[in-house]
Amino acid sequence: MSGIALGRLSEERKAWRKDHPFGFVAKPYKNSDGTLNLMQWDCAIPGKKGTPWEGGLYKLKMIFKDDYPSTPPKCKFDPPIFHPNVYPSGTVCLSLLDEDKDWRPAVTIKQILLGIQDLLNDPNVKDPAQAEAYTSYCQNRADYEKRIRSQAAHFVPKA
């Protein structure tokens, strides 16, 4: 494991614990022995108020490679969600997470999660990853939004 990656992720964890957006979750994965794995984080993104996503809390895994922050983490909804920019596997397709596009080593976990939250209600139709969701979004927006509201109801956090 890279000392650079672990150092940066340790700093990210401290910064997140001090200040993070309301309703979001981001924490290192806890191993079976109780130790933390800084190279994999369990996250959750709330749907924005006033959108069909509202009410849902969407779980996401963030997996970091040894060369982080030179390369972006892999972000994967688990379970996968219905969205034009989310592959059927759950992996997020977003320019911010692409080292050939908008990824920069200075991008923080908070910025990534906020960027994914923005993407939920504002898909990039130029970069589809899920054919059914893309077609529904482009051809029948009312049906798409109905399906998103139904999905949000399925992802309401347990009290």
The DSSP output letter for 38 is E
User: Which residue type occupies 47?
Assistant: G
Which one from 43, 75, 93, 138 is the annotated catalytic residue?
93
Q: How far apart are CA 91 and CA 27, in angstroms?
A: 19
Q: Is 32 exposed, middle or buried (0-12, 13-18, 19+ CB in 10 A)?
A: exposed
> Known catalytic residue: 93?
yes
Catalytic residues: 93
